[in-house]
Structure 1
Amino acid sequence: MWGVPIDDSRQMLVVAVVLSTLAGYVDALGFITLGGFFVAFMSGNLTRFSVNFADAAWAPALTAAAVIGTFVLGCALGAVVVHLSDRRNLAVRTTVLAVVTGLLIIGSVAATFGASTVAVGAMLLAMGAENSFFQRDGEVTIGLTYMTGALVKMGHRLAGALFGGPRWAWLRHFALWVGLVVGAVTGALAHHWIGLDALWFGAALSAALTATVHLRIERSTRRPQLS
């Protein structure tokens, strides 16, 4: 399904951590811009929607609903990209990253011209689409923009280690969590520095990751031909 896979699990973990870092970075920018709504972490938005709905605070409830709906559209976009890329025998992971990068660039341009609503919309679509990077058989195998699942798995792996299971299996989930935290802290600091224009750094990171994954796939493609 993936064309030529990146078959090294350590490399894939590194990519996942970088993507989690990107998600944390963009989420922090969105959180500050929206005044307390997330562009990557939808559970928080759902809680805000529910509480505001119960309090008849319609404006923030509608904001939360719009944010969640746009994120879902981004997830659907990522799934469509995976489906179409697979049918055309394209490198699916590279294509997904290219779409994420393109959306972040659109958001960065919008931020530069002061169109923060457009910028936030592009950020939401990008974060939704990013989760399709690890989609397989219609299911997301690694969540990149939310850490609840990773923390649950980390706790289970820690318990397993106490009873004779793999000693360090929890570290991969911990690494995802650390990546998100580092990205969020960096995003907050960058926003304090230059505002939403800091999204350009996120777009640059996404572009660099896209190029790296593409080159890795290219090398994997050529390797059999050189033997």
Structure 2
Amino acid sequence: MTKHLDRDMDRLHRDILSLCTIVEDMIGKAAMALRDGRLELCDEVTAEDETVDRFEVAIEEECLKMLALHHPVAVDLRRIATVVKVNNDLERIADLAVNIADRARGVREYPEFKIPKAVDPMVAHVRSMVRGALDAFVHLDTAAAREVIQRDNIVDELNEHLIELLQNSMQTRSQWVVPGLHCFSAIRHLARIGDLATNIAEDAIYLVDGEIVRHR
């Protein structure tokens, strides 16, 4: 039974890594579409979301099958439970990437509207958080996971700064209200991705230590 469980765990590990790679790519493309107006990337993000949805369902079904067949305990049970949660968070991140791509289309309808430069560091921090959280999960690194959790404060500060910039822009120039709202929504989606990266980091800590650190 142990040999079969180990084999299934290895396959599950490979599948979640493949899903991680796709989701990271989607975030990058959605951000480039927003920042640089490369609308062809929006279609790529939408297409990749369908792949993510198939992966998410397949991984969840595999987890449920492993629970039914192997009756795992201790760390094996925690790993499967954590994969279920991380799998769900990755699917939600992919949906948010699609939302950002949709907002990029809206912004591009107003070519004179300039995306605030502060979006770049926010995108960089969010992508780094997602990558760091996934690395912490894969390598069972609780120190790296806790670092990701701390960095969410930086994303929150950048989010507040950008909201203030956009509010000032929309108040001074009424023609920027619509593209400003599109940009505002995209920034909120980025902040939410940071929150989900934090969730994954918290799950990595649970996997290693069996400690639930949410809401602390």
**TM-score, with length taken from structure 1:** 0.28
Greater relative contact order, per chain length (Cα 8 Å cut-off, separation 6+): 1
